[in-house]
Structure 1
């Protein structure tokens, strides 16, 4: 489709807003653009940026249902971030208490990658570019 110019945002629903806000800002280093409390929905919406370009929208809702299976449930499979040095990224995450799965190699590109989870178990990939 020629009219698509890029990804506008990625939306994530979390079960514990404060825990997820801390994870995405303090652990992953995303910057807060805007935080809104939507009283009628009893919900927060937190707009986050990565390098001033990408937007992750973090939502909270009262009692959201859990993801049924991981990672092969129908729908979004995972969120992937590119990194320059995978070993360094893994070390930084580990220093912040994040458990990262063993590094793997993409059989199609030869690039290294690894997975970890956000506080709700959403699979997140770091991919060495």
Structure 2
């Protein structure tokens, strides 16, 4: 049956801006980059350290994604981090605006939300060390 999440696809407005954000700001590694002439679309495959991937697409005239108020469907993309304070400091130094760090009332873990260049909600979720 299911083994895990293989990838998450994100459609962006400004490909160059989003590519820089996901590669330079978030530190994802480029696996492949292709321009698909028939769709007038870039497809950028990015690697997460755990083997998962983010696919970044550009499509001409893609409609805006409703975020506020929150719409039905996929809500946000969450990335696991070991040290939320260090991750927040790195993002803040790169000009990313973060919401205040909160604590999950059920797990006790800390998390923080921010947005990608198109306003897609992203989350950092601090995962407790095993042991």
Query: Structure 2 length normalisation: TM-score?
Result: 0.94
User: Within 1, Cα distance between the matches of 2:57 and 2:67?
Assistant: 20
Alignment counterpart, residue 128 of structure 1, candidates 121, 126, 129? 126
Aligned equivalent of 1:44: 42
Task: Give the secondary structure class of the aligned counterpart of 1:93.
Answer: helix
- C-alpha deviation, 1:52, in angstroms: 5.9
Aligned equivalent of 2:51: 53
Task: Calculate the aligned-residue CA RMSD, in Å.
Answer: 1.0
Query: Structure 1 length normalisation: TM-score?
Result: 0.95
Aligned residues of 1:32 and 1:49 also touching (Cα < 8 A) = yes
Aligned equivalent of 1:115: 113
Aligned residues of 2:67 and 2:120 also touching (Cα < 8 A) = no
Aligned equivalent of 2:25: 27
Structure 2: segments with no counterpart, 5+ residues: none
User: Within 2, Cα distance between the matches of 1:16 and 1:71?
Assistant: 23
* Worse-superposed segment, 22-31 or 69-78: 69-78
Aligned residues of 2:79 and 2:123 also touching (Cα < 8 A) = yes
User: Within 2, Cα distance between the matches of 1:68 and 1:127?
Assistant: 23
Task: Give the secondary structure class of the aligned counterpart of 2:73.
Answer: coil
- C-alpha deviation, 1:71, in angstroms: 6.1
Alignment counterpart, residue 8 of structure 2, candidates 3, 7, 10? 10
In the alignment of these two chains, the number of paired residues is: 127
Regions of 4+ moved over 4 Å: none
Structure 1: segments with no counterpart, 5+ residues: none
Do the aligned partners of residues 59 and 43 (structure 1) sit closer, same or farther apart at CA in structure 2, a change above 3 Å counting?
Answer: same
Aligned residues of 1:71 and 1:77 also touching (Cα < 8 A) = no
Deviations 1:35-85, CA, capped at 9 Å, x for gaps = 010001110000000116011000000011001233621111000001111
